[in-house]
Structure 1
Amino acid sequence: MKSLLKDAREQKGFKTRELAQLANIDQALISKFESGTRKPTKDQIIKLSQLLEIDYETLMTAWLKEKILYEISDEEFALKALLLAEQEIQKNKKAIDSVILSSNQIILDEIEKLKNQFQSFNHFQLRQISKTLELEFIFQNIHSNGNSLTLEETKSVINDGITISGKSMQEHLEAINFQETAVYIKDLSQKKTAFNEKELLLIHSLIYKGIEFENSGKYKNDPLILREMNLLFNWYESHKNNLHPIILASEIYLKILDINPFEKGSLQIANIVINWILLQNNYIYVLTQTDKNNTEYSTALDEYKIKNDKSAFINYILKIEKENLINVIQSNTK
């Protein structure tokens, strides 16, 4: 943990004195944290994580590891105790997941009824709805990346092959690439292809096809990222059959944002993956409003980042899915 703190501080260009002032922590303590002679409190970890832009989960994991080692590393039965503790934590985790599911059961049941109503539409209606939602999905993803194409301009680019005056070639390519990506994840969903690393990296390369970016289809050059992504895929495999698909997709979205595995495009990848899982389970697109003006989205993310409470974000995704289904059904039953 000490190297995590020191490296992050130096990368941010802070002197220990400056960081101490920002964090409201004594400068001598900051130095001791970095030398390993003192351990921060949990509140101090939260502050340092935010100020130094260190992934909260990564820093907390390092903090807990050192706390455990300090307490029991020299004990004869440490490994047996750790095994029993792991079993108890897993048991408690399942209980928490069960509480999340039961607390959301009413809205999940409502979503299920709406989904069945939506699927009762004829083939032509479903195709038109899919095209409309796909366009909005493409637009929101390129918009979150700073693309200035309007919704109508995006539609003209991807449907009619029109070049929009005053817009850059890259902006056109981003729209085209996301349209191809949307088609690709729809195909993956129809084939019931599970979330996996090979397809994830291919999707990332699709986003940047023809755009000058040497790291497309590649994680950041960081061994920790590779380890975290392996843990993510293992987590998915162990939870894909016992978590509700919307809750599963929401948690993976958060985990991808936590890991931030790519130099560019991690937010877009999170948006793609959540919808890949939803479409695969016959739900419709969740279009997360990620711009700074959406306080509901920002508040839900802050609850997760600061308090490590994922329930607010899961509730947000459930609300968006329900609202999207209602809007689609109402607009097609008039």
Structure 2
Amino acid sequence: MKSLLKNAREQKGLKTREVAQILSIDQALISKFESGTRRPTKDQISRLSQLLEIDFETIMIAWLKEKIMYEIGEEEFALKALLLVEQEIQNNKKIINSAVLSSLQVILDEIETLKKQIISFQHFDLHRISKILELEFISESNRLNGNSLTFQETKSVINEGLTISGKSMHEHLEAVNLQEAIGYIKDLNQKKVPVTEKEFLLIHTLILRGIKPENSGKYKNDPLIIREMNLFFNWYEANKNNLHPILLASEAHLKIMTISPFENGNVQIANLLMNWILLQNSYVFATIQGNESDINEYLEVLEECQNKNDKSFFINYILRIEKENLIRAIELVSK
């Protein structure tokens, strides 16, 4: 933990006295935290995590490890006790996850009913609504990232290969690249290729092709980021068959946004990963709208999750969007 704190502070270009001043923690304590001679409180570690932009889960694991080692590390029966603790934590976790799922079950049931209705549609209708929802996703996702192309302009660029007067080449490339990335994801899903780090990085390369090629498909040059992404894919493998697909997709999006592993394209790749998981499980795109009020809501939900360390805000937000988009898909068939 001491290395995490010191490395993060130095990467931010802050001196110990500056950290102490900002957080109202004695400078001597900051130095002791970094030397390992004192352990911060949970509140202090939370504030340090936010200021130094250290992943909260990573720093909490390190903090708890040191706390456990201090309390029982020298005890003769420490390992046997830890095995019992692990079993009890796992049992409690199952109870908590079951309670969380129960609180969400009403909207999950509604979503499953809508999903079954869509799956029952004729192939022609399914293809038509899929193309419309895909175009809407491309348009709105790019607007979320600051692209000024309208839906009709995006449609013209993708379907007709037109160049829109007054719009930058960068904006045109974002639309084309996102379409190619979605096509690649759909192909992976058809071949039943699982979500892997290799494919994740390749999709990032696709969305930045011709825009920021020097940063595409590569994490930031930061050992902490690489470690956090290793932890992310370990988390994904451990939970892909246990969590409900919408909960899994929502958490994956939230984790990528928290880690922010790339120099460019973090919003796009988080959005694509979430929808990759949804499409893999026969749901429709969870399209976050790109108008000002919806962007503000999206950012506020992310901030609330961070400040309160509670992922349920974002999960409920995505559940609402998925339900709205399923209803939208059904409405398209009736037109």
| TM-score (norm: length of structure 1) | 0.91
Report the 3-state secondary structure (helix = DSSP H, G, I; strand = E; otherwise coil) of the residue aligned with 2:249. Answer: helix
CA RMSD of aligned residues (A): 2.2
Given the alignment of the two structures, is residue 11 of structure 1 paired with residue 18 of structure 2, yes or no?
A: no
The residue type paired with residue 97 of structure 1 is: N
The residue type paired with residue 199 of structure 1 is: E
Shift of 1:162: 1.0
Separation (CA, whole Å) in 2 of partners of 1:77 and 1:303: 41
Residue in 2 that maps onto 1:163: 163
Separation (CA, whole Å) in 2 of partners of 1:74 and 1:213: 52
Unaligned 5+ residue runs, structure 2? none
Paired residues of 1:29 and 1:38 also in contact (CA < 8 A): yes
Separation (CA, whole Å) in 1 of partners of 2:212 and 2:309: 36
Separation (CA, whole Å) in 1 of partners of 2:26 and 2:35: 15
Unaligned 5+ residue runs, structure 1? none
Residue in 1 that maps onto 2:226: 226
Separation (CA, whole Å) in 2 of partners of 1:43 and 1:223: 25
Separation (CA, whole Å) in 2 of partners of 1:94 and 1:69: 26
Residue in 1 that maps onto 2:85: 85
Matches within 5 A, 1:148-187: 148-187=148-187
Separation (CA, whole Å) in 2 of partners of 1:125 and 1:285: 16
Distance 1:103 1:330, change over 3 A: same
Residue in 2 that maps onto 1:313: 314
Separation (CA, whole Å) in 1 of partners of 2:15 and 2:231: 34
| TM-score (norm: length of structure 2) | 0.91
Matches within 5 A, 1:93-242: 93-242=93-242
Separation (CA, whole Å) in 2 of partners of 1:215 and 1:323: 35
Separation (CA, whole Å) in 1 of partners of 2:237 and 2:18: 44
Separation (CA, whole Å) in 2 of partners of 1:25 and 1:193: 49
Paired residues of 1:290 and 1:297 also in contact (CA < 8 A): no
Distance 1:70 1:291, change over 3 A: farther
Separation (CA, whole Å) in 2 of partners of 1:238 and 1:3: 27
Residue in 1 that maps onto 2:39: 39
Separation (CA, whole Å) in 1 of partners of 2:10 and 2:41: 21
Identical positions, percent: 69
Residue in 2 that maps onto 1:304: 305
Report the number of matched residues. Answer: 334
Q: Name which of structure 1's ranges 42-51 and 253-262 shifts more when overlaid on structure 2.
A: 253-262
Shift of 1:119: 2.2
Paired residues of 1:142 and 1:174 also in contact (CA < 8 A): yes
Shift of 1:94: 1.8
For residues 150-188 of structure 1, the C-alpha deviation after alignment (integer angstroms, 9 at most, x for no partner) is 322222211111112232222211211111011111222
Separation (CA, whole Å) in 1 of partners of 2:278 and 2:324: 15
